[in-house]
Chain A
Amino acid sequence: QVHLQESGPGLVKPSQTLSLTCTVSGGSISSGGYYWTWIRQHPGKGLEWIGNIFYSGSTYYNPSLQSRVTISVDTSKNQFSLKLSSVTAADTAVYYCARYHSGSWAFLDYWGQGTLVTVSS
């Protein structure tokens, strides 16, 4: 059973950089066919795809966030990370990491529990 767990500060000041890490257990992040994904959900709202990364390092970023987002992977630690720069209150959200299965079908099959990040001074 694959398990994902987000970690990082729950409070970030405006204009600073939000940094989160997702630790994957129960499976290798280097397994082919999966993209490791960050998604966020503003309070009481829908889901927004932030971006994803393949174990080789190739990335996709949501065009609306692309200028501020960096996703990286550390296969030795079985982790991937999110950095979102120049944050504002609009970046306050629950941030989820998830595994995206890509192949004949495409879907998010495993999710972390989510972590609330609040942007406030």
Chain B
Amino acid sequence: VVLTQSPGTLSLSPGERATLSCRASQSVSSSYLAWYQQKPGQAPRLLMYGASIRATGIPDRFSGSGSGTDFTLTISRLEPEDFAVYFCQQSGSSSYTFGQGTKLEIK
């Protein structure tokens, strides 16, 4: 399964709303769709799993949605610490793949 994330780069200001897309080449179970945040020099951190369930400690400005082949990560009001790279990831049929990432940068 190929995951395609868009846009590649998103330039926004703090306080704005961010919408990140993850599209799968074939249907993915929502239970097996996760999102990660990665900051420079750090390992990725789990944000969402089951497409819409926030991981422990993740603030409620982060939300996830979608099903089938189209999934979305939304950050309602950007905080300075949210500017990072975001990856979606799927597990299914003994295959595991990541999207190529969306870089969220400060405008």
Contact = CB atoms under 8 A, between A and B. Distances in A.
B79 to A, nearest CB: 22
Interface residues of B, number: 23
Nearest to B5: A46
A78 B91 CA distance: 25
Interface string A79-109: 0000000000000000010101010111111
B57 to A, nearest CB: 11
A74 interface: no
A64 to B, nearest CB: 11
B43 A47 contact: no
Contacts of A52: 96
Contacts of B69: none
B34 A107 contact: yes
Say which size band chain A's interface belongs to: 20 to 34
Interface string B16-28: 0000000000000
Contacts of A105: 31-32, 49-50, 53
A89 B18 CA distance: 37
Interface string A25-59: 00000000000000000000011110010000000
Contacts of B98: 46-49
Given A60-B94, A105-B32, A107-B34, A47 B44 contact: yes
B61 to A, nearest CB: 20
Given A105-B49, A107-B46, 11 more contacts: A46-B101, A47-B44, A48-B98, A49-B97, A60-B96, A62-B96, A104-B31, A106-B34, A108-B36, A108-B89, A109-B55
Interface of B: 31-32, 34, 36, 42-46, 49-50, 53, 55, 87, 89, 91, 94, 96-101
Interface of A: 46-49, 52, 60, 62, 96, 98, 100, 102, 104-109, 111-114
